[in-house]
Amino acid sequence: MLNQNKPAAEASPKGGGLEGAVSVLSPATVANVVCGFDILGFALNNPNDELTIQLSDEPGVHIINQDGFDLPTIAEKNVSGAALLAMLDETPDVKGFTLYSKKHIMPGSGIGSSAASAAGSVVAANYLLGNRFSKEDLVRFAMFGEKVASGVKHADNIAPCIYGGVTLIRSIHPLDIVSIDAPPLHVTVVHPQIEVRTSDARQILKQQVLLKDAIKQWGNIAGLVTGLLKGDYDLIGRSLEDVIIEPVRSILIPGFDEVKRNCKEAGALGGGISGSGPSIFMLSKDANTANAVEAVMKEVYERIGIDYHTHVTTINMEGVKRTTINTILED
């Protein structure tokens, strides 16, 4: 477990193309990890959002979007804005921030687009403030952004985005985040070009769970965490089973059952819905298998006639990362 009192990062020299600005790359994430609804997640090495932030003499948070997604620029309605406003509430010596945002993680994709915005913003701001806040503090601020996105303060995307690697949210109240060691894993993601809103995907979930299903789910969560810690690929694969959430949510994703079945036949350890969907992720032991899994995903969606994007990547062990090239302000 990481030291929650430790600063989020060591102070480093100013970087970027504009005096006093800080730029970061903020990663996509996979939440739930099949059986770990709202408590497990991991960060991806690709794709990443680009965020640049400056201190402002004007009060509040000023947002400049530099992409084509037309996201809100009113701070209270923007996930980054809400997170930064929460930070400002605890920094009376700071008037405001100006944020430049260039998103490469498509909103509504199910790979942590809102988390990348919220988490990346507060990490970048923390650099500007001399790293006065801990990683746990930054998660707490960024969760205000997730509430804007889905109506719920959840941390299963936020935590891995900030901490890197695989994280377990043992508790929200009080916040208790545990970093989990994992063996080398390759991740293949397909994003069918349909929309599944996080708020809608939550509303269809059952409010009561049979005890026998809960017991099976607890066994899978414990098995998955144990498999990751021991580097036991077979145990990881056996534990990637969800008997509570996936059976309900998968009906929102055309081709899901076929993709999952065919990917496992191609050698994937297993996988499932990334977050609330519509993206589907699969874990593999090696790059060759991950590429074969990508081919299977492409074949399914080409055959059923749904546009898609794919990513073949690995687990990002660092999380939000400062970059010395201010790509946003140079564009």
Q: Which of 52, 188, 198, 289 is catalytic?
A: 198
d(CA 21, CA 14): 7
At 23, give phi and psi (nearest 5°): -115, 145
**Catalytic, out of 50, 136, 146, 246:** 146
Respond yes or no: is residue 198 known to be catalytic: yes
Decide: 99 and 50 in contact? Cβ < 8 Å.
Answer: no
229 and 243 Cβ atoms separated by less than 8 Å = no
CA-based nearest residue to 161, from 51, 279, 43:
43
- Residue 329: in which H helix or E strand, if any? helix 327-330
CB-based contact 10:131 (threshold 8 Å): yes
Task: Please report which helix (H) or strand (E) contains residue 119, including its range.
Answer: helix 113-128
Q: Which letter does DSSP use for residue 76 in this model? A: G
Annotation marks residue 318 as catalytic: no
Query: Which residues is 323 bridged to in the sheet?
Result: 23
> CB of 181 within 8 A of CB of 174?
no
Q: What are phi and psi of 316, to 5 degrees?
A: -85, 115
**CA dist list (Å): 183 to 157, 186, 229:** 20, 10, 8
SS3 254: coil
Nearest 5°: CA angle at 30, between 184 and 10? 70
Q: Tokens for 48?
A: 């990443």
Which residues participate in catalysis according to the annotation?
146, 198
